[in-house]
Amino acid sequence: MSPLWSLLFVTLGGFVSAGTAYFLEKVRRGHQRRDKLDDARRDALERTLAWIDPMESALMSAEAEIYGLLNGAHDEYEFRKRYPNLISDLKALDLSPHHRLVLDTDPYDSGYRISKALEDLKYEALEQWEKTRYPVHAPSLNVTEARYGATLRVKQLKEQVQQLRQQLSAHYRKTYE
C-alpha cells in the first residue's frame, strides 16, 4: 500500500471523527436545551398546580357560606363579607411572564373561568336566598330546593377544578418523556 493511500485513509478517518464529534455535540446541546425547557415547564406547572388548593378551599368555604345564608345562620351582609375572594388568593400565586411563555397552553383561561363561576355562584345564591324569603308568607322557592341547586353548582365547579388538575398533571408528566 502506498503512502498516498495511507494519507487518504487517515484524512478520511479524521473527517469521519470530526463529523461524528460535531454530530454528537449537536445532539448533546439539543438534549441540554430540551432538558432546560422541560425544567422551566415543570416549574411553571408546579406554580400553576398551586392554584388548585385555593380553588378547592374557596369552593368548600363558598358552599358553607351559601348553606349558612340559606339556612338563616347569617344575613346578606354577613354572607357577602364572609364569601371567599378567590381572585385575591390566586393573585398571590400569579405566574411571571417567563413562566407563562414556557407553557404550551395557557392555564389562565381555565383559572379565570373557575374564579368567575365562583363569583357568579355568589350572586346565584343571593337570588335563591331572596326567592326563599320573599314574598314573606309564600316564598317562591323552598330552602331545600335552593340548597340542592347550590350543591349541584358547587359539584360542577369542583369537577372543573379536578379537570384543570388532571390537565396540568398530564402536561407535567409529559415533561419527563
Domain ranges of the chain: 38-174
Alpha helices for 105-174 (secondary structure H): 108-133, 143-174
3-state SS, residue 109: helix
State how far the Cα of 73 lies from the Cα of 79, in Å rounded to an integer.
9
- Return the pLDDT at 135: 82
Does 108 or 11 have the greater pLDDT score? 11
d(Cα 15, Cα 9) in Å, to the nearest integer? Answer: 10
- pTM of the predicted model, to two decimals? 0.80
Given pLDDT bands bounded at 50, 70 and 90, which one contains residue 94?
A: confident
